A = this chain, B = another copy of it.
Amino acid sequence: IAIQDGNEVARYMSPLHASDVGDVLEAISPADRFELINLLGELFDYSALTEIDDSVRLELMDLLPNNDIARGVQELDSDDAVYILEDIEGGDREEILAALPTFERLALKRSLDFPEETAGRRMQTEFIAIPPFWTVGQTIDYMREADDLPDDFHQIYVVDPSYNLLGTLALDRMLRAKRPAVIKDIMNSTIIEVEAEEDQEEAARMFERYDLVEVAVVDETRRLVGVLTVDDIVDVIQEEAGEDIKRLAGVGNEEISGNVWNAVRSRLTWLGVNLVTAIMASLVIGMFDATIQQMVALAVLMPIVASMGGNAGTQTMTVAVRALSTRELDSYNVRRLITREFLVGVVNGVVFALVIGVVAAIWFANPLLGLVIGAAMVINMIAAGISGIMIPLTLDKLKIDPAIASSAFVTTVTDVVGFMAFLYIAAHAFNLF
């Protein structure tokens, strides 16, 4: 880029795949990014912008003139264009849309009208729709002549005059059929479609379930309005899995390219919730301050009971949250799972009660203390198993995302039960009030 020669740069960049161009853009400084795109001019393929981090893209969008962006997105399939436009603020977005030809503008506007993370927002409005009475030969000839075909496609949609979906035809089926065969007779008439308003996660589940490569998107009157392709769905699955992981740890949908303030904000809520639950646990300890004063060993040992319970609860909760989000957990197996988690709590509780009981008895040369911590451990591990499964299930029933809120509740239960059981039993065993 130092050499400032557009042709030179273009020669290096043009054989690269859009993903690789995206990587180059991410690696260089913000000023160089803008420079590079300007140097490439019309040769710059805007699909590279769909491969870079949101924050980098937004920064670039601010720098680039709206007219250039309009020219760039016009070349893209509508799903990529929407992806780039959706994060641009109102005024700029209107200006870019206004600079587009009418047909493209209307298609993009319609997609942008659907809520974020729906099938309608992700769909591509370029697809091939043909009537059922055409023959294979006619269809092939049509495709050879037409010049507004989508960039890549894997199946053809068979529709009636009002664009209601009648069936689909995979390209490999068509290639295996003879030219005179009528589409109606060879098409797959088991209709799998998603509504445009549907959550993208639902659509992804359908792809997984039925091993799809493309699926039809229909509006509320069941008219075909677009298609969802598997490459977008792969991104959706990756995104949703990442969201689950981050939500479980209480970080908002944070990206590593975000700045300090984004990161602080995305974590404050969860840390605030945790502070409240930690104070609740402290209140429980405070109830036993006289007990602790007479036997400091209790203060030394009590975090062990709480920590083990917290971990066991998190394990159960994670399995439950993941199973809920992949829909493996349903009414058929929920009762079995609750029983299992209860038993796991009992078994792990007894195992670790024995270990910590012996350790504590020897450490403080006090067998009764070993018994006390062992009993508290069993109680807390069972509480952990039960709350680890019941809390996500309850939240899910209440339509609250269990990935976000479960941790806070589960660790509150295990902290409170852990400290309470240990200190209460100890107070009674050693007569310390």
Interface code A323-345, partner B: CB below 8 Å = 1, 0 otherwise?
A: 10010110011000100110110
Q: Are A251 and B315 in contact (CB under 8 A)?
A: yes
Partner pick for A263 among B153, B246, B248, B340, CB 8 A cutoff: B340
Partner pick for A207 among B144, B234, B348, B355, CB 8 A cutoff: B234
Dominant SS at the A interface? helix
Residue of B nearest to A289 (CB): B296
Distance to closest chain B CB from A143 (angstroms): 5
- Interface hub of A53, A208, A419 (most chain B Cβ within 10 A): A208
Which residues A296-313 have CB closer than 8 A to chain B?
296-297, 299-304, 306-308, 311-312
Q: Does A211 contact B (CB under 8 A)?
A: yes
Q: Does A366 contact B (CB under 8 A)?
A: no
Chain B residues in 8 Å Cβ range of A314? 249-250
**In the bound complex, CA of A174 to CA of B154 (Å):** 12
Q: Does A67 contact B (CB under 8 A)?
A: no
- Do A347 and B275 form a contact, CB below 8 Å, given A175-B140, A210-B17, A237-B241? no
**In the bound complex, CA of A158 to CA of B143 (Å):** 23
Chain B residues in 8 Å Cβ range of A340? 259-260, 263
Chain B residues in 8 Å Cβ range of A355? 275
Q: Are B271 and A348 in contact (CB under 8 A)?
A: yes
- Do A301 and B282 form a contact, CB below 8 Å, given A256-B329, A333-B257? yes
Q: Are A300 and B289 in contact (CB under 8 A)?
A: yes
Chain B residues in 8 Å Cβ range of A248? 245, 248-249, 318
Copy number in the complex reads: 2
Q: Does A233 contact B (CB under 8 A)?
A: yes
Q: Are B152 and A170 in contact (CB under 8 A)?
A: yes
Q: Does A422 contact B (CB under 8 A)?
A: no
Distance to closest chain B CB from A94 (angstroms): 30
Q: Are A303 and B303 in contact (CB under 8 A)?
A: yes
Q: Are A303 and B329 in contact (CB under 8 A)?
A: no
**In the bound complex, CA of A172 to CA of B213 (Å):** 14
Interface code A195-234, partner B: CB below 8 Å = 1, 0 otherwise?
A: 0000000000001111111000000000000000011011
Q: Are A292 and B299 in contact (CB under 8 A)?
A: yes
- Interface hub of A241, A255, A270 (most chain B Cβ within 10 A): A241
Chain B residues in 8 Å Cβ range of A312? 267, 271
Q: Does A8 contact B (CB under 8 A)?
A: no
**In the bound complex, CA of A254 to CA of B341 (Å):** 13
Which residues A14-43 have CB closer than 8 A to chain B?
17, 19, 26-27
Partner pick for A27 among B231, B293, B332, CB 8 A cutoff: B332
**In the bound complex, CA of A355 to CA of B274 (Å):** 13
What would 20 A/B residue contacts be, using CB atoms closer than 8 Å? A19-B209, A140-B175, A143-B176, A144-B178, A152-B213, A213-B230, A213-B231, A234-B234, A241-B245, A245-B245, A249-B314, A250-B314, A257-B333, A263-B341, A271-B315, A274-B307, A279-B304, A281-B307, A289-B300, A299-B299
A sample of 15 more A-B contacts (CB under 8 A), given A143-B176, A171-B172, is: A230-B234, A241-B244, A250-B311, A251-B318, A256-B323, A264-B347, A267-B312, A267-B344, A268-B348, A270-B311, A275-B308, A275-B355, A278-B307, A286-B300, A299-B299
